Structure 1
Amino acid sequence: MQLHTTPRTPVADGPIGTAANSGRTRMYPWLVFLLTFGLLLADYMSRQVLSAVFPVLKPQWALTDSQLGSLNSVVALMVGLLTFPLSLLADRWGRVKSLVLMATLWSVATLLCAVAANYHQMLGARFLVGVGEAAYGSVGIALVLGIFGTRVHAALGGAFMAGGSFGSVLGVAAGGAIAVHLGWRWSFVTMAVVGLVLAALFGALVSERKLARHADHGSAEPLRDSDFRVPVSTLFTNPAVWCAYIGGGAQLFTAAVLLAWTPSFFNRVYRMATDTAAAAASGVVLLVGAGMVCCGIAADRIGRRDLSRKWLAAVVFCAISLVCLTVGFSIEHGVAQLILIGIGAWFSGGSSGPIAAVVADLTHSSVRASAMGMLTLSDSLLGIALGPFVVGLLADRYGLTAALRAAPLAYVVAIVALAAGRYLYPAGLRKLAAIHNE
């Protein structure tokens, strides 16, 4: 067998809607993407609205920074613990039904946050938010990548991952404004209503049957009921995929810190009011999301002829953010600091798109949601859950600025893992090719 850059050749990257593609339309895949992306926005709006009201809850309930951090981290912890089993269940039970159920659950749990009377009730409600959101990212991205070609996987993966940042921007900015004018409880009510409305639209407009008709569009391995399913164990036997998991989680450590703690940073260090700090932090979070999209597009272009270059692009993005954020949080407060933090934020999650793309390249379509579940598990345990909590602990002991200065060191782990993944990538492709030929 002759091994090409990837063992799968896109079969329908070109136009659709021909007689051979009966039942397909050009717009339906983009409709699915927009609805899935919209729910992802709602997901992170519900998750990150809490950061906007940190300055209100801290004095009202007499909370420590580690307690505040735990209210964020419990969501990511549940995502990390449940994402793989729920992704595996979604691969078997149906991805559309799973997504609608998840969105409904996290939206109802967000309503419970609005009526919480103390720290422990809020912690319980946030626990349920995490259960609802657990596998949405992995199942959603698997659903989207299944109806688009490999040539745009890094861009779509980056855009989908950036939905977390964009949702965080909306959640933090809107949550801060609503908290100031109507009270912090209405911030949660608003996010819950948005999620419930989008869940209803998704359930009405997206179906497994329609997805099956469009599955050949850009997908080298369309998943039909008649297709064979590879064992779940194949997710754990490819060293290159493990490198992607570790690198993906480590590179999101600092991005998660920026999402959770920049409102408090502007509130404490720059003495901004709650709503002003939330708006300023939203600008940083917006840079994180925009960087994910643009870095994903850049990685697709860089890896167009050689997919292994996507690994190299991910390493470069991590290195730039490491340098800029470390220096930025080390110098005096002012314009220069904000510029460096902005540049670092732009590249902080830039590796997410290419990492999702290489995981998709190295896994069979029948277990792709489960593979993305494993990536989400790593993202949560090594990055999204760990980052805000660790920085909260460090902030209690050394101060918030010192804690933020130390956070970018996680990129060292990411760079090592991604460099190793690039080295192991050809062997990983051969493993996948062997599965296809069995």
Structure 2
Amino acid sequence: MDNRTFADRSDLERSKPTGHRGLVLGMLCFVYVLNFLDRQLVSILAKPIQDGLHITDSELGRITGFYFALFYCFIAIPVGWFADRTNRVKVLSIACGLWSAATAACGMAANYGQLVAARMAVGVGEAGGVPPSYAIISDTFPREQRGTAMGIFNLGPPIGSALGVAFGASLAAAYDWRAPFLIVGAIGVVTAVLVYIIVPEPARGRFDPLPAAAAEPAHSFGQAIRAFFGNRILTIAALASGAANFITYGLSNFATLFLMREKGMTLEEVAIWYALAVGLGMGAGIFVSGRLIDRFGVTNKAAYASIPAWSLVLALPFFLGFAAADSWQVALPLLFVPLFLNSFFLPATVTFVQSEVDPGARVISGALLLLVMNLIGLGLGPTFVGMASDFFRPQYGEHALRMAFYALAPMYLIAALLFAWLARMIKRSSPASSGSRQASD
């Protein structure tokens, strides 16, 4: 029996070579890149898909938002609970293979109904992607390095979006919109096998106090859900992230269509310039956010909420300028700032939640966070923008999407106020909860 103290074991883990950590993080990040690339392909190729299958903006909003999120969000909960009790790497590998096969099926859809069914299957698979990765990272990196590690992992969305734009738009321009789905799906199936071979399953709670207590999951399925939503701070964190994600998905799922339809960009220009804006803007924002969290979160836990609050306030005027610009050459530089700032909330909230819950409940806690975050953001954001665009079309014609983005703008202030409220709650709870894992109100 190992009688060493937690501090001794934790120091021993920290002293181990870090090369394998980098390999694990790189592999998980690549899976997340594919996850987001698959998810965004329909939005990126919205114009040719609309032309080929004859679908409206509202139908596009539902297929990229509500229909996908319905399966993605709710199936993530039982998958997360199951992964907390089994091998998280195996769950991730199976999920990657499933969503990749479903992505290939999207490229074979002959009508809107078949595309909806394939997108729902993508959502089912992707439900097992991100939450297990959060937990694997939390048990691979010590607490003082998790913000940066989560920031690097969360480069998956900007890299996936940028590659999706460049890769998807180029292939669609050269062949048709179906080719990117088939090729990316095949790459994902191969990656699923590599995850199973390369990524080791880390011990739960290896860098946390009371590791023995974390050796087995502490909660039943129902208890884990009640523990998360019974904690007011975690619930507000999820709601604030949902409001921020409402903006992120409402904007990103229609940005390509907006730039092509109202700003005059071609697929070839989208493949170069919009891809660069997404990759550099979102990527830099997520990485900088992770570094800021590691810098300020150690001494001031409220920074996990105050940093996202300020970033959203600063992004709003640039978002309005993007929507109002008359040409894509003006709109794209203005869009770069919201792309940079909109993503600050993601590493902050994920790191905060993963640090606040028991090691044996990290996957399901991540899944519950994503449930709220994506049901509000992914499920309602694109649906709202698509419906708003169709609503404004009779009066504003080709500028209907611009008006829909104006209608989206107030959500910046709502999300910022929720994060400011969260920061205040964290400050109030800190003295009473010092030394305890899970703050409660």
Q: If the length of structure 2 is used for normalisation, what is the TM-score?
A: 0.88
Aligned to 1:21: none
RMSD across aligned positions (CA)? 2.6
Q: Does 1:298 align with 2:292?
A: yes
Give 1:352's aligned amino acid. Answer: L
Give 1:229's aligned amino acid. Answer: A
What is the rounded CA distance, in whole Å, between the counterparts of 1:54 and 1:10 in structure 2? Answer: 53
Q: How far off its partner does 1:413 sit?
A: 2.3
Give 2:377's aligned amino acid. Answer: G
Q: Does 1:66 align with 2:58?
A: yes
Q: 2:369 aligns with which of 358, 370, 375?
A: 375
Contact 1:176 1:278 (C-alpha < 8 Å) held by counterparts: yes
What is the rounded CA distance, in whole Å, between the counterparts of 2:114 and 2:301 in structure 1? Answer: 48
Per-residue deviation, residues 104-157 of structure 1 (Å, max 9, x unmatched):
100111121121111111110011000000131122112112211222322222
Q: How far off its partner does 1:377 sit?
A: 0.8
Are residues 189 and 331 of structure 1, via their aligned partners in 2, closer, same or farther at CA, if it must alter by over 3 Å?
closer
Aligned to 2:277: 284
What is the rounded CA distance, in whole Å, between the counterparts of 2:294 and 2:320 in structure 1? Answer: 28
Q: 1:363 aligns with which of 351, 357, 360?
A: 357
Aligned to 2:324: 330
Q: Does 1:31 align with 2:20?
A: no
Aligned to 1:3: none
Q: 2:235 aligns with which of 237, 242, 252?
A: 242
Are residues 14 and 225 of structure 1, via their aligned partners in 2, closer, same or farther at CA, if it must alter by over 3 Å?
closer
1:329 is paired with a residue whose SS is helix
Q: How far off its partner does 1:40 sit?
A: 0.6
Q: 1:108 aligns with which of 97, 101, 105?
A: 101
Contact 1:51 1:260 (C-alpha < 8 Å) held by counterparts: yes
Q: How does 1:166-315 map to 2 (within 5 A)?
A: 166-208=159-201, 211-212=202-203, 216=206, 218-220=207-209, 222=211, 226-227=215-216, 229-230=218-219, 231-232=223-224, 233-286=226-279, 287-315=281-309
Contact 2:162 2:276 (C-alpha < 8 Å) held by counterparts: yes
Q: How far off its partner does 1:240 sit?
A: 0.8
What is the rounded CA distance, in whole Å, between the counterparts of 2:214 and 2:232 in structure 1? Answer: 29
Are residues 78 and 275 of structure 1, via their aligned partners in 2, closer, same or farther at CA, if it must alter by over 3 Å?
farther
Q: How far off its partner does 1:14 sit?
A: 6.0
Give 1:379's aligned amino acid. Answer: M
Aligned to 1:6: none
Are residues 196 and 315 of structure 1, via their aligned partners in 2, closer, same or farther at CA, if it must alter by over 3 Å?
same
What is the rounded CA distance, in whole Å, between the counterparts of 2:262 and 2:277 in structure 1? Answer: 15
Per-residue deviation, residues 320-341 of structure 1 (Å, max 9, x unmatched):
1223213432354465543332
Q: 2:32 aligns with which of 34, 37, 40?
A: 40
2:409 is paired with a residue whose SS is helix
Q: 1:391 aligns with which of 348, 362, 385?
A: 385
What is the rounded CA distance, in whole Å, between the counterparts of 2:259 and 2:38 in structure 1? Answer: 22
2:324 is paired with a residue whose SS is coil
Contact 1:50 1:172 (C-alpha < 8 Å) held by counterparts: no
Are residues 319 and 221 of structure 1, via their aligned partners in 2, closer, same or farther at CA, if it must alter by over 3 Å?
farther
Aligned to 2:396: none
Per-residue deviation, residues 262-294 of structure 1 (Å, max 9, x unmatched):
111111122122232343332332212321121
Per-residue deviation, residues 304-333 of structure 1 (Å, max 9, x unmatched):
322222221121112112232134323544
Per-residue deviation, residues 23-57 of structure 1 (Å, max 9, x unmatched):
x5321122111111111111111111122321112
Contact 1:66 1:389 (C-alpha < 8 Å) held by counterparts: yes
Aligned-pair identity in percent equals: 25
Q: How far off its partner does 1:345 sit?
A: 1.5
Moved more, 95-104 or 420-429: 420-429
Are residues 320 and 13 of structure 1, via their aligned partners in 2, closer, same or farther at CA, if it must alter by over 3 Å?
farther
What is the rounded CA distance, in whole Å, between the counterparts of 1:228 and 1:109 in structure 2? Answer: 31
Contact 2:243 2:376 (C-alpha < 8 Å) held by counterparts: yes
Give 1:314's aligned amino acid. Answer: P
What is the rounded CA distance, in whole Å, between the counterparts of 2:124 and 2:101 in structure 1? Answer: 11
What is the rounded CA distance, in whole Å, between the counterparts of 2:419 and 2:377 in structure 1? Answer: 15
What is the rounded CA distance, in whole Å, between the counterparts of 2:351 and 2:436 in structure 1? Answer: 20
1:389 is paired with a residue whose SS is helix
Contact 1:106 1:131 (C-alpha < 8 Å) held by counterparts: yes
Give 1:134's aligned amino acid. Answer: A
Are residues 419 and 323 of structure 1, via their aligned partners in 2, closer, same or farther at CA, if it must alter by over 3 Å?
same
What is the rounded CA distance, in whole Å, between the counterparts of 1:366 and 1:154 in structure 2? Answer: 20
1:305 is paired with a residue whose SS is coil
Are residues 422 and 165 of structure 1, via their aligned partners in 2, closer, same or farther at CA, if it must alter by over 3 Å?
same
What is the rounded CA distance, in whole Å, between the counterparts of 1:66 and 1:41 in structure 2? Answer: 27
Are residues 281 and 379 of structure 1, via their aligned partners in 2, closer, same or farther at CA, if it must alter by over 3 Å?
farther
Moved more, 426-435 or 318-327: 426-435
Are residues 223 and 404 of structure 1, via their aligned partners in 2, closer, same or farther at CA, if it must alter by over 3 Å?
farther
What is the rounded CA distance, in whole Å, between the counterparts of 1:184 and 1:263 in structure 2? Answer: 14
Moved more, 108-117 or 266-275: 266-275
What is the rounded CA distance, in whole Å, between the counterparts of 1:14 and 1:55 in structure 2? Answer: 54
2:299 is paired with a residue whose SS is coil
Moved more, 417-426 or 143-152: 417-426
What is the rounded CA distance, in whole Å, between the counterparts of 1:381 and 1:234 in structure 2? Answer: 20
How many residue pairs end up in the alignment? Answer: 420
Moved more, 352-361 or 416-425: 416-425
2:145 is paired with a residue whose SS is helix
What is the rounded CA distance, in whole Å, between the counterparts of 2:307 and 2:171 in structure 1? Answer: 39
What is the rounded CA distance, in whole Å, between the counterparts of 1:223 and 1:147 in structure 2? Answer: 17
Moved more, 122-131 or 62-71: 62-71
Q: 1:127 aligns with which of 120, 123, 137?
A: 120
Aligned to 1:4: none
Give 1:63's aligned amino acid. Answer: I
Q: If the length of structure 1 is used for normalisation, what is the TM-score?
A: 0.88
Are residues 330 and 220 of structure 1, via their aligned partners in 2, closer, same or farther at CA, if it must alter by over 3 Å?
farther
Contact 1:84 1:135 (C-alpha < 8 Å) held by counterparts: no
Q: 1:79 aligns with which of 72, 81, 84?
A: 72
Give 2:149's aligned amino acid. Answer: L
Aligned to 1:415: 416
Q: Does 1:56 align with 2:56?
A: no
